[in-house]
Structure 1
Amino acid sequence: MIAEADIPRLLRVSVERPVPKAEQIYDLLRQAIVRLRMVPGAVISEKALCLEYGVSRTPVREALKRLADEDLVDVFPHSGTYVSKISFEVAEEGFVIRRALEIESIRRAVRFVTDDDIARLDHLIAGMHDILNRGALHEYIEVDDAFHAAIAGISRYPRIWKFINLAKAHLDRMRQLSAPLPGHLAEVTEQHTAIVRALERRNAGQAELAMTIHLEASFAVMSAMDGDGEYFKRKDA
């Protein structure tokens, strides 16, 4: 039997347990791909990754296998591994999943939101305005995701954001491409503000409508980029 006095120590050991190398490499590569630091079509060298992270090929291949399962890399035996091009169809599927889960999330959040939650969301919106004022548009998606993840947390279904995050990788790459469009992120920020004000009023109908308008308007902007440039996968491919 575990003594009560040992529980904090056991929890501490659990928290401090090292993250496996394969998972670390997966997380770093996934973020680089989603944020377009690794552009669609870029060559991925297993040997270079092994040298960079000081590991054998096994954890690198495990990480690449997970990314391939998410359609973020293409692995061609005896040819090479490449960052996948953006698939509009996969991005659209991610949008449909995201919209369904976020609407449920905002509907529940109205029931549980507190004044402290509203203050935290307003703080994130202030961060968005700061990013716009500085013109650091590449930073926006991080705060945007924190905003939506916070709403998922308020809904008391925090795992919803985990599922959304897995589904929206191709969508996120389109979000990153759309960031520099004139006025787009300023409009997104106003939509976020409308969501918070509806939550503040505890009005479920207004909150759901504000979230729906936000998600569909953003996707409409991204949809206009379908097939635009070398980063997109051809529909007949």
Structure 2
Amino acid sequence: MLQATDQPLQAVSAPRRPLRGLDLFPGSLANKVYLSLKDAILTLTFRPGEILRKPEICSELGVSRSPVAEAVARLAAEGLVDVVPQAGTFVARFSMDEIREGAFLREALELAAVEQVATTITEDQLVLLRRNLRVQEALVQDGDTEGFYELDGQMHELMLSFTGFRRLALLAETTWVHVNRARRLILPAPGRVAATLAEHQAMVAALEARDPALARAATRYHLRQLITFLEPLADARPDLFRQG
């Protein structure tokens, strides 16, 4: 079972796990390095405010400085790292303004999507969602927060894909990038994973009922829980959040 804790930032304070191997990622060497570093930032393997030591990254991934420098430039363009002249490269701290903006944009996209999907969803598509939920339930029972996080993302991607719009999931992911990283802070909070599962079940039930209004309401409630949890966290842990 999930272990209750008064410290929702366990993932942030834990010793750093190794970077994921480049063979797990597609594309050129530079793209593989970029995806490995981005994965480490989004999963809080690299913590907000932490300095990125390029020689250590080169050694760990077994690459030269060139692909690492290219990867860092891409991450800086996405706002995931801050390059400070004469000081170094740092993992960007969280910004509540960016999180609120990302959550606003994602909500607009996802509410429009579920409202449409509620009127067009097929039985085969519902089967995919139900299967996903069953795995989520097993992961909650096993206390596997990381696995649950992955299935959570897959469920949302499925719902977006059911609109038939090929670029929608990518657009939603782009708007969600800062929110996605911040979500890692709250999933370990006591009861949050089980509550998230219940919210997912309500969303799927609304789609099963083919009720657009109910699907919008269930999805809106689910998406807004993130801000509800993060607002007090920003006050409690100013070291993780950008001020001003």
TM-score bin, normalised by smaller chain: 0.7 to 0.9
Which residue of structure 2 lines up, in the alignment, with residue 174 of structure 1? Answer: 182
Deviation at 1:179, TM superposition (A): 0.8
Deviation at 1:231, TM superposition (A): 4.6
**Amino acid across the alignment from 1:87:** S
Which residue of structure 1 lines up, in the alignment, with residue 143 of structure 2? Answer: 135
Deviation at 1:132, TM superposition (A): 1.2
Which residue of structure 2 lines up, in the alignment, with residue 199 of structure 1? Answer: 207
- Aligned equivalent of 2:86, options 72, 78, 81: 78
Which residue of structure 1 lines up, in the alignment, with residue 57 of structure 2? Answer: 49
Question: Structure 2: any 5+ residue segments left out of the alignment?
Answer: 1-25
Which residue of structure 2 lines up, in the alignment, with residue 225 of structure 1? Answer: 233
**Amino acid across the alignment from 2:50:** A
**Amino acid across the alignment from 2:112:** E
Structure with the greater alpha carbon radius of gyration: 1
1:36 aligns with 2:44: yes
**Amino acid across the alignment from 1:55:** V
Deviation at 1:108, TM superposition (A): 2.1
Report the Cα distance in structure 1 between the residues aligned to 2:41 and 2:132, rounded to whole angstroms.
24
Deviation at 1:21, TM superposition (A): 1.4
TM-score (structure 2 length as normaliser): 0.84
Question: Structure 1: any 5+ residue segments left out of the alignment?
Answer: 1-17
Judge conservation of contact 1:110–1:203 (CA < 8 Å) in 2: yes
The number of residues matched between the two structures is: 219
Q: 141-150 or 40-49, which moves further after superposition?
A: 40-49
- Aligned equivalent of 2:198, options 190, 194, 209: 190
SS, match of residue 235 in structure 2: coil
Deviation at 1:57, TM superposition (A): 2.2
Q: 1:195 to 1:230 in 2, by over 3 A?
A: same
SS, match of residue 234 in structure 2: coil
Bigger relative contact order, structure 1 or 2, given CA contacts below 8 A and separation 6+?
2
Give the aligned CA root-mean-square deviation in angstroms.
1.7
Q: 1:76 to 1:167 in 2, by over 3 A?
A: same
Deviation at 1:98, TM superposition (A): 0.6
- Aligned equivalent of 2:113, options 105, 127, 150: 105
Judge conservation of contact 1:47–1:57 (CA < 8 Å) in 2: yes
**Amino acid across the alignment from 2:46:** M
**TM-superposition CA deviations, 1:62-106 (whole Å, max 9, x none):** 211111112111111232111111111111111011101111111
Report the Cα distance in structure 2 between the residues aligned to 1:117 and 1:222, rounded to whole angstroms.
32
SS, match of residue 236 in structure 2: coil
Which residue of structure 2 lines up, in the alignment, with residue 24 of structure 1? Answer: 32
How many percent identity over aligned positions? 30
Report the Cα distance in structure 1 between the residues aligned to 2:196 and 2:190, rounded to whole angstroms.
12
**Amino acid across the alignment from 1:71:** G
Report the Cα distance in structure 1 between the residues aligned to 2:125 and 2:227, rounded to whole angstroms.
27
**TM-superposition CA deviations, 1:114-171 (whole Å, max 9, x none):** 1111111111111211121111223322111100000011111242221221222221
Report the Cα distance in structure 2 between the residues aligned to 1:210 and 1:233, rounded to whole angstroms.
29
Deviation at 1:224, TM superposition (A): 2.5
SS, match of residue 82 in structure 1: strand
Deviation at 1:195, TM superposition (A): 0.9
- Aligned equivalent of 1:157, options 153, 157, 165: 165
Judge conservation of contact 2:40–2:46 (CA < 8 Å) in 1: yes
